[in-house]
């Protein structure tokens, strides 16, 4: 198994931490992982992306131009990454703020209205976990058990009380994701 | 099985320093390596191992703190990124000239000048050919993963003390910022005063006792003949390092008709290029120099007879290629592909460039 | 009384401290460096701390201080002695660590290092020799060169509009929270030597009390650089430097 993912959106949406939890989940099931963030000037308040690779084998290049999955959370990222999804790949996006919806016919496209779902939950911070849930529904490459283990690893101990809330958000995302 | 932790290359440097018994870290913030000092400050090793961590007022001061600490026989280090390393080069020359062991980490970014904060390998010349003034060499290790970043701290200190010479870990923004899983190694305790005395009393400034002459650490010799004798001694040391410390790895070179040479993050990316070529039946192999000084001259030289071409792939305008051309010495075409200023090419992009060179 | 009686130990009235090596000083006759070296050597002997003292020499005339004092020495890059001292003291807190720096080293190229080491309150001793000129390179303007003073690079005298003002760095240092003892002394006569010795001794003692940085400026002569004979140089110093660089303690806590 090898899954190459780009997660892209605005800073503050939890893009980097979502990637980190996914990567930790991979480690929990004894896979090789890389997590490569954009750390350029765009990091300061603008767009933000991270590429995550999970693989059963050693990972060579952490730098990719084509992805199995793109998780897209703003228009700039849609413009940049829609065409970098491999044919037959997956594109998941949050329609909130998207003015030009994806056009590709050779990939699977899914929507997750995570802003709305997070509002329903009354917890804006659950946003990225809802997205993660949507992804894991479409590609169950990491089990819930390992995601939670990964969460435990990547959250400081003082925040471990938030894990049940995160689990709930992941489940919400799994249920709310819709194919187009 | 040892614990595996997801961490950035920069964080790996910090954890490895604490773990391998480093005595002191002195640094100044600069992107993309600030996590090194941030992690050390967060971990507070002065409360556990007694390691000193200090934010200096400049890179110039950092490297001179390293000089002071190295004079005391301590395992001391600093880290920075390209512009900061330029500032440190004077100090590194002094360390080499005073034959002092130390570890310097350079997480390279695009230059020249203030440049960009994106990944680069533009400091190859600076690091492998000296950087500061005078005839000296650094021992240069080029990590390609967070695990390498972790492991090369201990290795760098070992080599630095073995040869009493600065060792440099030459990483880049990709390796520093990327998170991977890192397997932690068994901890080494910091050296005790007694151990330092045993190991370094012949030269270190740890207090003149009645049983020995006073030690002076200086790189100054006013007489030209004295300086020349010292320089010849240095060159002998470098020859010894070249004979003993070459490290490299190869990927599918056994039957290779074409060879890519790449170090650091580019060696990872070029492994994928080898796969792309092999899918098309092209016998491409990869050689990754792990030590950039000493350079794996013999390994490349031995491959030349079986090759139709070599391509050097670097994140710069073509620096390491000069070393490869010296080894090839006209026997086989040596081509180049590189991106500059912080741009990082994808495997497909490099493969396309490679195909053009062999057509 | 023949010579053998005269050299009997009980007749000895003065002996050179063994901490001062037998090497012949390279300093010019009349230079203050030799006197300050001797003071430091005597203090190290009297305190019995030869095996616990690390000296850090600068770039400048006193670069070779390591040839004269029988202790372990580090020779620093120009201006960087306080950085070396910082690391040395932090890594070996049981050692006495002092820098020995001239005005060019401390107050020009090394301004950042001295300011920040003092501001951090490093538990070190700084000996600052201020003779208002670059001695080793042949008498060029120093940051502490007085207005109107002729040097190789101010051949018509230092002018404020062209060369800036003489830098009272010790006054600046005294303002820093990290310093515990800041004083300005001189060594042109026995009384001054005694006062300087007392000051440096106090500075060494401070460095084990975790009180912060002790800073001792010694206003000094450079007859070669000033191009006047030693006795006249002392007089010139008293008449011209002391009014601008007044002697005495600026801070003692």
Q: What span, in angstroms and rounded, lies between the C-alpha atoms of C117 and B357?
A: 56
DSSP B149-203: HHHHHHHHHHHHHHHTSEEEEEEEHHHHH-EEEEEPPPP-PPPPHHHHHHHHTTT
pLDDT band at A45 (very low <50, low <70, confident <90, very high): low
Q: Which residues between 228 and 267 in chain B have a beta carbon less than 8 angstroms from any beta carbon of chain A?
A: 265
Q: What span, in angstroms and rounded, lies between the C-alpha atoms of B187 and B183?
A: 12
Q: What span, in angstroms and rounded, lies between the C-alpha atoms of A83 and A64?
A: 13
Distance (Å) from the alpha carbon of B10 to chain A's nearest alpha carbon: 13
How many CB atoms within 10 Å of residue A62?
Answer: 25
Running DSSP on this structure, what letter comes out for residue C238?
Answer: I
Q: How many whole angstroms from its chain centre is CA B168?
A: 4
pLDDT tens-digit profile of B37-75?
999 999 999 999 999 999 999 999 999 999 999 999 999
Distance (Å) from the alpha carbon of B225 to chain C's nearest alpha carbon: 19
CATH value at residue C54: 3.40.50.970
pLDDT the model gives residue A41: 59
> Residue C153 — φ and ψ, nearest 5°?
-105, 0
The answer to whether position B243 is within a domain reads: no
- From B174, B272, B345, residue closest to A36, measured CB to CB: B174
- Residues B180 and B269 placed together within one structural domain of the fold: no
Q: Which of B156, B176, B193 is the last residue of a domain?
A: B193
- Residues B168 and B253 placed together within one structural domain of the fold: no
- Whether B205 sits inside 8 A of C74 (CB atoms) is yes
Indicate the number of domains in chain C: 1
Indicate the number of domains in chain A: 1
Q: What span, in angstroms and rounded, lies between the C-alpha atoms of B199 and B161?
A: 9
The answer to whether position B286 is within a domain reads: yes
CATH value at residue B342: 3.40.50.920
The answer to whether position B205 is within a domain reads: no
Q: Which domain holds residue B278?
A: 249-358
* Mean pLDDT, chain A, integer: 93
The answer to whether position C25 is within a domain reads: no
Could you check whether the bond before residue C10 is cis, i.e. omega within 30 degrees of 0?
no
> Which residue from B minimizes the CA distance to A33?
B180
pTM of the predicted model, to two decimals? Answer: 0.95
Q: What span, in angstroms and rounded, lies between the C-alpha atoms of A134 and A115?
A: 13
10-residue averages of pLDDT along chain C (253 residues): 78 90 93 97 98 97 96 98 98 98 97 98 98 95 97 96 98 98 98 98 97 98 95 97 98 95
- Residues B254 and B126 placed together within one structural domain of the fold: no
Nearest to B252 by CA among B277, B228, B235: B277
Q: Is the pLDDT of residue A44 over 60?
A: no
pLDDT the model gives residue C17: 95
The answer to whether position B222 is within a domain reads: no
Q: Report strand pairing: A47-55 vs A2-10.
A: antiparallel
CATH value at residue B80: 3.40.50.970
Q: Which domain holds residue A101?
A: 2-179
Mean pLDDT of B137-165: 98
Which two tokens mark B158? 């070992």
Using DSSP's 3-state secondary structure scheme, residue B86 falls into helix
- Residues B39 and B180 placed together within one structural domain of the fold: yes
Q: Are A82 and A91 in contact (CB under 8 A)?
A: yes
A abuts B (3+ Cβ pairs < 8 Å): yes
Q: How many whole angstroms from its chain centre is CA C29?
A: 17
CATH value at residue A113: 3.40.920.10
Indicate the number of domains in chain B: 2
Q: Is the pLDDT of residue B1 over 60?
A: no
Q: Which of B148, B171, B193 is the last residue of a domain?
A: B193
Q: Are B284 and B260 in contact (CB under 8 A)?
A: yes
Q: What span, in angstroms and rounded, lies between the C-alpha atoms of B190 and B198?
A: 14
pLDDT the model gives residue B2: 72
Residue B118 touches partner A, C-beta closer than 8 Å: yes
Q: What span, in angstroms and rounded, lies between the C-alpha atoms of B56 and B28?
A: 6
Query: A66: which residues sit within 8 A by CB, 6+ positions away?
Result: A4, A84, A85, A86, B346, B348
Bridge partners, B105 (sequence order): B79, B169
The answer to whether position B106 is within a domain reads: yes
The answer to whether position C145 is within a domain reads: no
How many CB atoms within 10 Å of residue C236?
Answer: 16
Q: List the single best residue of A42, A61, A152, A154 to mutate versus B (max B Cβ within 10 A).
A: A61
Q: List the single best residue of B180, B315, B345 to mutate versus A (max A Cβ within 10 A).
A: B180
The answer to whether position B108 is within a domain reads: yes
- From B24, B58, B215, residue closest to C87, measured CB to CB: B24
pLDDT the model gives residue C3: 79
Distance (Å) from the alpha carbon of B69 to chain C's nearest alpha carbon: 5
Which two tokens mark B59? 């890179």
Question: Could you report how far apart the first and last alpha carbons of chain B are, in Å?
Answer: 49
Alpha helices in chain C (DSSP H): 3-6, 33-47, 81-91, 103-104, 111-120, 160-163, 169-174, 190-206, 223-226, 230-236, 242-244
Q: Which domain holds residue C96?
A: 30-132+155-252
- From A20, A60, A66, residue closest to B179, measured CB to CB: A20
């Amino acid at each position: 198994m090898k899954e190459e993912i780009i997660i892209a959106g605005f800073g503050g949406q939890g893009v980097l931490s979502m990637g980190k939890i996914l990567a930790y989940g991979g480690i929990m099931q004894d896979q090789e992982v890389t997590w490569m963030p954009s750390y350029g000037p765009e990091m300061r308040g603008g767009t933000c992306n991270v590429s995550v690779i999970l693989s059963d084998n050693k990972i060579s290049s952490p730098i990719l131009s084509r992805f199995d999955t793109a998780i897209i959370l703003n228009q700039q990222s849609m413009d940049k990454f829609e065409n970098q999804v491999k044919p037959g790949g997956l594109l998941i996006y949050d329609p909130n703020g998207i003015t030009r919806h994806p056009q590709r016919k050779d990939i699977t496209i899914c929507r997750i209205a995570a802003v709305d779902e997070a509002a329903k939950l009354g917890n804006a911070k659950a946003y990225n976990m809802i997205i993660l849930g949507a992804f894991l529904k479409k590609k169950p490459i990491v089990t819930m058990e390992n995601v939670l283990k990964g969460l435990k690893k990547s959250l400081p101990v003082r925040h471990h009380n938030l894990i049940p809330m995160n689990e709930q958000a992941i489940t919400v995302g799994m249920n709310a994701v819709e194919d187009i | 099985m040892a614990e595996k932790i997801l961490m950035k290359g920069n964080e790996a440097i910090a954890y490895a320093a604490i773990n391998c018994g480093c005595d002191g870290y002195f640094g100044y913030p600069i992107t993309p390596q600030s996590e090194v000092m941030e992690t050390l400050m967060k971990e507070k090793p002065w409360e556990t191992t007694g390691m000193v961590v200090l934010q200096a007022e400049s890179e110039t001061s950092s490297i001179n703190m390293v000089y002071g600490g190295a004079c005391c026989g301590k395992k001391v280090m600093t880290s920075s990124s390209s512009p900061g390393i330029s500032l440190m080069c004077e100090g590194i020359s002094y360390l080499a000239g005073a034959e002092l062991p130390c570890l310097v980490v350079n997480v390279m970014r695009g230059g020249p000048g203030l440049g960009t904060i994106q990944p680069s390998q533009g400091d190859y010349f600076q690091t492998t050919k000296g950087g500061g003034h005078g005839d000296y060499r650094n021992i240069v290790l080029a990590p390609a993963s967070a695990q390498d970043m972790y492991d090369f701290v201990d290795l760098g200190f070992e080599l630095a003390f073995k040869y009493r010479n600065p060792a440099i870990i030459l990483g880049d923004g990709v390796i520093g910022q990327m998170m991977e899983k890192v397997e932690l190694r068994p901890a080494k305790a910091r050296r005790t005063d007694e151990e330092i005395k045993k190991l370094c009393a012949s030269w270190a400034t740890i207090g003149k006792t009645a049983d020995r002459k006073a030690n002076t650490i200086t790189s100054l010799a006013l007489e030209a003949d004295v300086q020349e004798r010292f320089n010849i001694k240095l060159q002998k040391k470098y020859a010894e390092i070249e004979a003993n410390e070459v490290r490299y790895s190869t990927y599918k070179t056994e039957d290779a008709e074409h060879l890519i040479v790449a170090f650091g993050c580019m060696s990872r990316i070029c492994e994928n290029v080898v796969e792309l070529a092999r899918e098309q039946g092209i016998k491409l192999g990869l050689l990754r120099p792990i030590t950039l000084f000493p350079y794996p001259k013999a390994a490349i030289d031995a491959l030349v007879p079986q090759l139709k071409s070599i391509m050097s792939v670097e994140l710069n305008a073509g620096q390491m290629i000069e070393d490869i051309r010296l080894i090839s010495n006209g026997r086989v075409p040596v081509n180049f592909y590189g991106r500059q200023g912080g741009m990082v090419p994808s495997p497909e992009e490099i493969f396309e460039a490679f195909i053009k060179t062999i057509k | 009384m023949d010579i053998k009686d005269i050299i009997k130990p009980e007749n000895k009235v003065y002996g050179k401290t063994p901490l001062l090596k037998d090497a012949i000083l390279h300093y010019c006759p009349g230079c203050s460096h030799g006197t300050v070296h001797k003071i430091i050597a005597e203090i190290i002997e009297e305190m019995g701390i030869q095996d616990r003292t690390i000296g850090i020499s600068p770039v400048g005339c006193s670069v070779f201080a390591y040839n004269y004092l029988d202790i372990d020495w580090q020779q620093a890059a120009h201006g960087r002695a306080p950085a070396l001292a910082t690391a040395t003291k932090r890594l070996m807190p049981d050692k006495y660590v002092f820098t020995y720096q001239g005005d060019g080293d401390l107050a020009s190229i090394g301004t950042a290092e001295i300011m920040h080491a003092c501001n951090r309150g490093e538990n070190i001793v700084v000996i600052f020799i201020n003779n208002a000129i670059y001695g080793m390179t042949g008498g060029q303007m120093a940051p502490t060169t007085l207005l109107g003073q002729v040097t190789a690079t101010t051949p018509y005298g230092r002018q404020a509009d062209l060369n800036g003002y003489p830098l009272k760095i010790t006054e600046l240092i005294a303002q820093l929270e990290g310093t515990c003892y800041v004083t300005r002394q001189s060594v042109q006569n026995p009384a001054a030597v005694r006062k300087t010795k007392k000051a440096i001794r106090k500075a060494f003692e401070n460095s084990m009390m975790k009180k912060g940085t002790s800073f001792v400026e010694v206003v000094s002569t450079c007859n070669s650089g000033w191009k006047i004979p030693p006795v006249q140089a002392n007089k010139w110093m008293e008449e011209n430097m002391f009014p601008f660089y007044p002697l005495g303690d600026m801070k003692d806590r």
